[in-house]
Amino acid sequence: MEDLKNWGVFLDDIPPEGLKIEFKDISNLGDDLKVKKPFSGYLKLKKIGIEVKLEGSLNGVLSLECDRCLTNFDFPIQHEFKIDIKPLNSLNIEGEKELMEEEMEVSFYENSWISFYNILREEIFLSIPYKKLCKPDCKGLCPICGTNLNKKTCNCKIYKKESPFAILKTLLKDKNLEKGGQ
Ligand SMILES: [Zn+2]
Ligand SMILES: [Zn+2]
């Protein structure tokens, strides 16, 4: 697989009319990103002074590990983004004020080099939810015996008592019984 770490463009090589890069079959994005279906998309760059306005789109499928049951699941990503890319040395000068002005994402380049590799990685990481779940109601693993509770139930009663939902259910049941319901 080709090394994508050197994939990018020098600021000087962006023509006045802008630059559009289309890409496909991108899968080698580092060991921390397991790519199930390679990424495709585009990057459009427009140079304005020392800043670059970037618009992009990416499409692919990652394999993520569920935070609860630790099994791998497919996570499709379809993501469109706009980034203001500024020189890294402007970070200290302009400070937080600039960052707060717009909702726009800001990224930085160093030594006149804009790394597409880093941009794609950043955007993919931004698309991954904070809580990674194979399904919204994943039951997770039993903390006592380690059984994947999506697949089968175990007899560890402590887990069931600890679950707030289980308690709530029991309470609701009791209430219904009092009322003569089911
Ligand atoms: Zn899960
Ligand atoms: Zn168990």
pLDDT at 178: 55
Distance 8 CA to ligand 1 centre (A): 36
**3-state DSSP call for residue 25?**
strand
Among 86, 106, 127, residue at a domain's last position: 127
pLDDT at 95: 54
- Is the residue at 90 inside a domain? yes
Distance 76 CA to ligand 1 centre (A): 16
Distance 71 CA to ligand 1 centre (A): 6
Q: Are residues 90 and 174 in the same domain?
A: no
Q: Are residues 145 and 96 in the same domain?
A: no
pLDDT at 127: 95
Distance 75 CA to ligand 1 centre (A): 12
Which ligand neighbours the alpha carbon of 135 most closely?
1
Which ligand neighbours the alpha carbon of 146 most closely?
2
- Is the residue at 133 inside a domain? no
Which ligand neighbours the alpha carbon of 75 most closely?
1
Q: What is the mean pLDDT of each run of 10 residues along the chain (182 residues)?
A: 83 95 94 96 95 96 97 96 88 57 75 93 95 95 93 76 59 58 44
Owning domain of residue 43: 4-127
**3-state DSSP call for residue 179?**
helix
Q: Are residues 22 and 45 in the same domain?
A: yes
Phi, psi (rounded to 5 degrees) for 110: -125, 140
pTM as predicted: 0.76
Distance 152 CA to ligand 1 centre (A): 13
Among 97, 127, 157, residue at a domain's last position: 127
Q: Rounded to an integer, what distance in angstroms lies between the CA atom of residue 164 and that of residue 81?
A: 39
